[in-house]
Amino acid sequence: MQIKFPKLDMLTAGVIFVVLAGGALFIFKVVIPAVMPTTVILQVPFSAQAPTDNWSRNEDCEETSITMANAFLTGTTEDKLPANEAQKAINNLKIWEQANLGYNANTGADATTKMAEGAFGLVITQVLGFTEDNLKSALTNKHPILLPIDAKLLGNTQYINGGPLYHMIVIRGFKGDSFIVNDPGTDGGDGNEYPFSVLQKASADWNNVTKEIDANRKIALIVSK
């Protein structure tokens, strides 16, 4: 007995083909994950927030963090920024802040975003409630990360008096479960390492209205050019 199949007009056949092809493509994309490398280290040049060694009432961690990230994204290959050039960049950012924000101390994530984009033309992507994979994916794509923190929760013995309550660092890589950061709050801050759990716990934003740190607002600033 010969089995007869129903005939399909060209339009119906085309629709079925597209649906099947689209389904196959969707399954292909879902099943195959991106491969995360085990080590990524961006050569972000280091500077302390007192590059000329004047630590008196120094609150320039945000300006210095932006300066380091910008130097990397504009092709600087030095391990350490020249002190005079770093200080000039920091001073220029403070002038920009005063003119555009009305203040230049303790800039939270939103104010830091405005400063980085307005003064240097950088592009900031804010990631609220960031995950370990968020950070690693950004670094794998060669984006340094600015992280506002409560430095007292880092446990860094290089700090004086346990470190500043509000601070900002640059995450520039990872090795396995450890993240590599440039910390402008100390002369020995080049390439410090912390596990994700410590960075996540320390993460906090500054509320310029209440003049208090907000430990519940955990936000990372991914920097690109």
Residue 46 three-state SS: strand
**CA–CA dist 18, 207 (Å, integer):** 52
Domains of the chain: 39-48+59-224 (3.90.70.10)
DSSP conformation letters of 10-24: HHHHHHHHHHHHHHH
In this structure, which amino acid lies at residue 37?
P
Q: pTM score, two decimals? A: 0.84
The one-digit pLDDT tens for each residue of the chain (225 residues) are: 332 233 334 333 343 333 334 333 333 332 223 688 999 999 999 999 999 999 987 889 999 999 999 999 999 999 999 999 999 999 999 999 999 999 988 899 999 999 999 999 999 999 999 999 999 999 999 999 999 999 999 999 999 899 999 999 999 999 999 999 999 999 999 999 999 999 999 999 999 999 999 999 999 999 999
From 96, 99, 128, select the one nearest 115 (Cα to Cα): 96
From 223, 203, 192, select the one nearest 67 (Cα to Cα): 223
Quickly tell me which residue has 């446990």 as its tokens: 155
**CA–CA dist 205, 167 (Å, integer):** 9
